[in-house]
Structure 1
Amino acid sequence: MILDADTDLQLERTLQVPADVIWRCWTTPEHLKHFFVPRPHKLVSCDIDLHPGGRFNTVFEVEGNEMRNDGVFLELIPGRKLVFTDTYTEGWKPAEHPFMTAILLLEPLNPHATRYVAIARHRNAEARAEHEKMGFHSGWGMVADQLEAYAQTL
């Protein structure tokens, strides 16, 4: 995948978990709650309708405040690729303040390890810079660590 340095951020890790387990974690609300936001923040609600155009709605609790993020799935290749965005909500309704499109790529390296690539695509360089300043690498890195630790218990 070709990245645009002006608008894209990327995190790449090798997780000691099979790709199908990572996929299940990312696509099942009961699993997502265990890793989706960096601790001490938490995911308090998640509603998934897993198909292109289906909803991916989440509510986070950050420092006592709830933050709602509604979006849709754009592309799904089971066990390999998951693409979602907050640019639209269910029914392809444009969002008032879109932030990014996320692309997760999973490449099995062996039966117990997966190359995990998380890409955040932004509408412009300013949004990318804002996300980087918010702590994209540390935050998404913590999410990857939390995902790996949780997935290893399944």
Structure 2
Amino acid sequence: MELDPATDLKIERILDVPREKVWACWTQPQHIPHFFIPKPHRITACEIDLKAGGRFNTTFEVDGRLIENKGVYLEVTDGEKLVFTDTFTEGWKPAENPFMTGMILLEDAGAGRTKYTAIARHRNAETRQQHEDMGFYIGWNIAIDQLVAYAKTL
């Protein structure tokens, strides 16, 4: 897949956790609150219908304010790939103010480790820059560290 540096952001890391555990964390709603956003912010609700067109809804609590994030999965390849977006909600209803499409790509890295690639695709360069300025690299890396710590407890 070719990425466009004007609209796409990417993080690639090797995680010291087996791919099956990383996949479980990303695909089972009881796990999402443990890693999905940097602490002290938190997820207060999560709904997952793990199929193309199925819902991926989360509610964030950030500085005491609740933020509803409704979206759908565009692609689900078991154990390997999740593509989700807030461009649509369940039933392919267009969102009023979409922000991004996310991709999580997982590969075995040997010795019980996972090659983890996270991509955030944006509709234009301004939105991409806004996401980077919001702390994309710092925030997403914190969430990945939280994912690893939590997955090791499973």
Report the TM-score range of the alignment, normalised by the length of the smaller protein: over 0.9
After superposition, give the CA deviation of every residue in 1:17-42 in whole Å (9 maximum; x if it has no partner). Answer: 11111010001111111000101100
| Residue 87 of structure 1: how far off its partner (Å) | 0.1
- Percent identity at matched positions? 60
Secondary structure of 2:36's counterpart equals: coil
Secondary structure of 1:142's counterpart equals: helix
Q: Does 2:40 align with 1:12? A: no
The aligned residue for residue 61 of structure 2 is: 61
Q: Distance in 2 between matches of 1:16 and 1:5?
A: 28
Secondary structure of 1:109's counterpart equals: strand
Q: Does 2:69 align with 1:38? A: no
The aligned residue for residue 92 of structure 2 is: 92
Secondary structure of 2:131's counterpart equals: helix
After superposition, give the CA deviation of every residue in 1:107-129 in whole Å (9 maximum; x if it has no partner). Answer: 10115100100000000000000
Runs of 4+ in 1 over 4 A off after TM superposition: none
Between the two proteins, the alignment pairs up a number of residues equal to 154
| Residue 64 of structure 1: how far off its partner (Å) | 0.2
Q: Distance in 2 between matches of 1:43 and 1:78?
A: 24
Task: Report the residue type matching 2:10 in the other structure.
Answer: Q
Q: Distance in 1 between matches of 2:73 and 2:32?
A: 15
TM-score of the superposed pair, with normalisation by structure 1: 0.99
Q: Distance in 1 between matches of 2:106 and 2:4?
A: 20
The aligned residue for residue 48 of structure 1 is: 48
Secondary structure of 1:30's counterpart equals: coil
Q: Distance in 2 between matches of 1:37 and 1:29?
A: 14
The aligned residue for residue 134 of structure 1 is: 134
| Residue 72 of structure 1: how far off its partner (Å) | 0.1
Task: Report the residue type matching 1:128 in the other structure.
Answer: R
Task: Give structure 1 stretches of 5+ with no counterpart.
Answer: none
| Residue 65 of structure 1: how far off its partner (Å) | 0.2
